[in-house]
Amino acid sequence: MKTLEATSFGAASTTEDVLSGVNLRGKRILVTGVSAGLGVETARSLVAHGAHVAGAARDLAKAKAATAPSAKGRRG
């Protein structure tokens, strides 16, 4: 059985706290729920750290609107 390591992350931790110093260039990551809330913030932060993010959502129009700021200038 795998032993869990203690971390200093908690309820007040941000995506920037968790990803500080992490380089995700060349990584492809699927994020669900990119139409609002945690899914959008997770995708935004992963993109900011170099990841290529594919998003999934039930409402395509909401997802496009919510992720437009992160996707701007990042396509290709």
Counting every residue written for the chain, the total comes to: 76
CA–CA distances in Å: residue 45 to residues 13, 28, 69: 13, 13, 12
Q: What is the pLDDT of residue 72?
A: 67
Q: Which of 76, 75, 36, 37 is nearest to 59 (CA)?
A: 36
Q: What is the pLDDT of residue 62?
A: 94
Q: What is the pLDDT of residue 32?
A: 96
Compute CA 57 distance to the chain's CA centroid, rounded to the nearest angstrom: 14
Tens-digit pLDDT profile for residues 5-39 = 777 889 999 999 999 999 999 999 999 999 999 99
Task: Give the global pTM.
Answer: 0.77
Question: In terms of pLDDT, which residue wins out, 51 or 76?
Answer: 51
Stretch (H or E) spanning 43: helix 37-48
What average pLDDT does the segment 35-56 reach?
94
